[in-house]
Structure formats: C-alpha cells, structure tokens
Amino acid sequence: MKTRISSLLWDALTSLKLSIVCLAMLMVLVVACTLAQVSLGTLAAVNLFIRSFFIWWAVPGTGWSIAVFPGGALVGLVLALNLVAAQAKRLELSWKKAGLWIIHAGLILLFAGEFVTSAFQVETRLAIEEGQTLDYVESPRDLELAVVDTTDPHQDDVHAIPESLLVRGGSFDVPGTPLSLKSLPRPHGSASPGHASIQRTPSASAPPTRRKNRLVKRNCFPIIL
C-alpha cells in the first residue's frame, strides 16, 4: 500500500501536467503583480504576489483572512521540485539531451536565485553630490520614525523607531527624554505606517543612537526637539 502511494506521489511530482499548471499560475501571478503595482508600488506588489506562499483575502468586518490563491514562492518551489524530479526520472545523461539538461538547470537556478535574493538581499544606495562627503548609505525601502535632539551643536542625538514596530501600534518611550510616542495601527490596505502622537511622560534614561555613527540611514520622518 505504501509503495503504491509513493509511486502515485512520484508520478504526480514528475508529471508534465504539473509543470504546465505551475507555469500557468506563474503567468497569472505576474499579470496580477504588474497590475497591482499601480496602487501598491513595485516592492509591495512583488512581496504580495511573488514572494509569498499564499495570497490572503481579508474578510470584511472580521479579523479573518482566507488563502485564495497560491503565491509565487509556493508555485516556484513546486515547479522547481517538479523539474528536478522530472530530470532525474526521464532525462538520460548524454550529449543528445544536453539542451534539455541546460534548460532544466537554468530554470532551477532561476528559482533558486529568486529565493536567495528575497531572503538575503539588502538594497542600499550612496548618493554623493559634487564636493560632498558622506559616511553612510541610504536604505530607500526601509522607513523609520526619528526623534532628533539638536541640543548639542556638534552632534545630533537620534532616536529611531523602525516601521516594523510602528505598524503594530502601541506606545514607545524615547530614551533620555520625557517623550512617549503613541502609534496607531496601520489601516487595512494602507501602504504607510499609522499616525503617531506625542505625549510627555517619564521615561527611563538610556544611551541615544548617534546618527554620526550610523552606517545605514533609512528614510525617516523626523521630529526635531
């Protein structure tokens, strides 16, 4: 019984029909991602359709989300496994089949490269104007809320809160100051962080983050003290 089930699963994994279905799904995802870039932007659309395992639909009026379509990560993973299995099962190791080997290996390398890129890539830029000196690079896709203390004429004290914390909502004490920032959760479907308000409350003293010593500078919404 186990042998038969294993055989059926192996036949399904190496099926040409599975390859066609995965390629058709990727075409649908690419078209949907291209159209979504108009409202979401390039990065948000790519993360939603191409680099996710499922595409979720939020049920209106509830906190429920339902998976309505497989994402590009899942489809790409299944297709990569299908290509590897099919190549091991059907293709013979000979010069006559070299073209098929190269095509399969190229597609597998393409999917593997996308997985590695989405997991480990770090995109920054260093824009220098003529006569300018910089000691940091900018990350244009990472946002933060920065509270800048300009009391010291020689160096600014910068307290930064990353977007990943702001979108969750909550209160954040600014170390070394009597300020407390309250962030509202990001509205559903919005591409920007929620609103923030400032309150004066006692907070514990802690060393500030010095902008001068930072190697990576993110897009920030500054609050000057």
Q: Which of 220, 160, 165 is nearest to 194 (CA)?
A: 165
pLDDT in tens, 83-121: 888 888 877 777 877 888 888 888 888 888 888 888 888
pLDDT in tens, 136-186: 788 877 777 878 878 778 887 777 777 777 777 778 777 777 777 777 765
Please tell me the pTM assigned to this model: 0.61
Of residues 163 and 198, more confidence is placed in 163
* Strand segments (E) across the chain: 54-58, 65-70, 137-149, 157-162, 170-173, 179-183, 196-200, 209-210, 216-224
